[in-house]
Structure 1
Amino acid sequence: MKKLIIASTSTIHGSGYLEYILPTLTTFFKEANTILFIPYARPGGISYDEYTAIAKKAFATIAKKVKGIHEFENPKEALKQADGIFTGGGNTFELVNQLYKNDVISALKEVVENGTPYLGTSAGSNICGVTMMNTNDMPIVYPPSFKTLEFIPFNINAHYLDPIENSTHMGETRETRIKEYHVFNMTSVLGLREGSWLEVNGDSIVLKGSLSARLFQKDKMPVELATNKEIKI
């Protein structure tokens, strides 16, 4: 049975890396001694080693070891042997590009579907949907496909922002962008606000955190989904 935490972000305002969600991760990864970290998204262009060091420091506070997938000669075998998996945020285009380049999409999907606990934040959450097409990131590389892991039956728009009342900003809102997406696509989109996450157990998907989430479906008005409630689409 698949077990996932799909978080909008790794860091909330005034908090350290993963700090806000560490109590949940302590329970979630309780059977895992070592977390396999996938650093392919490279936020700000940092190296895999630099990014893995950040993850190591955070997980050390809950007595968990971290090893980067890039440190293994055979990344597929690393996935198969993993106690738990964490894919960090950064650029979703580069993340997906590297997952395909290293030929680990199928292996990652298989091990998580078979029960290896998976944590995703930001870009690492975007790939849990049907496609990565609702990322906010710049297309700095061209991945072979936008199709991703399909752990959930909708797409994620991480870091979802509501329009700011009385703002003079004239650019498109997130809601406008998602409406543009639905002109050409059917897949529903969940706007996941900062500090919120999804807990997935098998086919059950529950919204966690203090904030509601905004669900967009083609040809329907957006709806607010309450926290601590199961999401059914």
Structure 2
Amino acid sequence: MGDPASLRRRLLLVSNSTLHGGGYLDHCQSHIRSFLGQNVKRVLFVPYALHDRNAYAKMAREKFESLGYKLDSIHEAIDPGESVRKAEAIFIGGGNTFRLLKTLYDHGLVQPIRKRVLEDGVPYIGSSAGTNVATISINTTNDMPIVYPPSLLALGLVPFNINPHYLDPDVNSTHMGETREKRIQQYHEEPNTPPVLGLREGCLLLVEGDKATLQGKTGARLFVRGTNPTEHEPGADFSFLLNEGPQKL
């Protein structure tokens, strides 16, 4: 049996919001509808990763309403903490991960969101930066540190890190800089660093209690410190990554 808190955990962690050839969340809308089901009527949206929160909320609201859900944006709330405490489901969108995490800390929302998801079983959807902050830390984000959060520690809903938008090396490229794989391996040169799951675009991870399953149209690459990276196709069982339970913060 896992940690009692982790047994209530329900997460849908998406690599990217938009896939080439489609619109906003089109590639994962069936997963979202299946994940939220019919019991959820309203979704609390967190648009902190982008500067224009009004435009971001408008786009997200239109999409979720097309799927049959009302959407409230936390930036419009008088008391963001109360919005989290009353939320039926939480969706954190993409953008700059440093800006997102700093704003979560600024509003004192890290622990309240963590409590709602792990203890109360509130469904959590993350996309890109929203997926990054669901993990132990944002050390493996692709984003530039345009602002400085007080800590790189994130929500800790799972005991590992994720690299959204994972890119494979282009064998035809003349670029001589580090590949994404090399950057993650550099991270693992540091002691006590957790596994990193590289989610390619079009890929998502469904976590239900102590079970984690890779879904979507593309595969993922798993990096574990001290071992060679491994390839995994949709349908892969990643439950073993959850064995330690949610990260203690």
Q: Partner of 1:195 in structure 2?
A: 202
Q: Partner of 2:113 in structure 1?
A: 108
Tell me the distance in 1 between the aligned counterparts of 2:210 and 2:152: 23
Query: Any residues of structure 2 matched to 1:49-88 within 5 Å, and which?
Result: 49-88=54-93
Deviation at 1:226, TM superposition (A): 2.6
Deviation at 1:41, TM superposition (A): 0.2
2:215 is the alignment partner of 1:208: yes
Tell me the distance in 1 between the aligned counterparts of 2:189 and 2:231: 21
- Deviations along 1:146-200, one digit per CA (max 9) or x if unpaired, are 0011111210100000001121111110001011111114211010000100000
Tell me the distance in 2 between the aligned counterparts of 1:26 and 1:157: 24
Q: Which runs of structure 1 show a deviation greater than 6 angstroms over 4 or more consecutive aligned residues?
A: none
- Deviations along 1:51-104, one digit per CA (max 9) or x if unpaired, are 100101111211211111111111111111111110000000000000000001
2:101 is the alignment partner of 1:96: yes
Instruction: Look up the SS of the partner of 1:36 in the other structure.
Output: strand
Query: Any residues of structure 2 matched to 1:1-233 within 5 Å, and which?
Result: 1-30=8-37, 31-42=39-50, 45=51, 47-113=52-118, 114-185=120-191, 186-231=193-238, 232-233=240-241
Instruction: Look up the SS of the partner of 1:215 in the other structure.
Output: strand
Gaps of 5+ in 1: none
Amino acid at match of 1:19: D
Tell me the distance in 2 between the aligned counterparts of 1:207 and 1:220: 21
CA root-mean-square deviation: 1.0
% of aligned pairs identical? 43
Amino acid at match of 1:115: G
Amino acid at match of 2:44: L
Amino acid at match of 1:207: L
Tell me the distance in 2 between the aligned counterparts of 1:208 and 1:22: 12
Deviation at 1:210, TM superposition (A): 2.4
TM-score, normalised by the number of residues in structure 2: 0.90
Gaps of 5+ in 2: 1-7, 242-249
Amino acid at match of 2:181: E
Amino acid at match of 1:34: R
Deviation at 1:145, TM superposition (A): 0.3
Amino acid at match of 1:76: G
Instruction: Look up the SS of the partner of 2:189 in the other structure.
Output: helix
Amino acid at match of 1:143: P
TM-score, normalised by the number of residues in structure 1: 0.96
Q: Partner of 2:3 in structure 1?
A: none
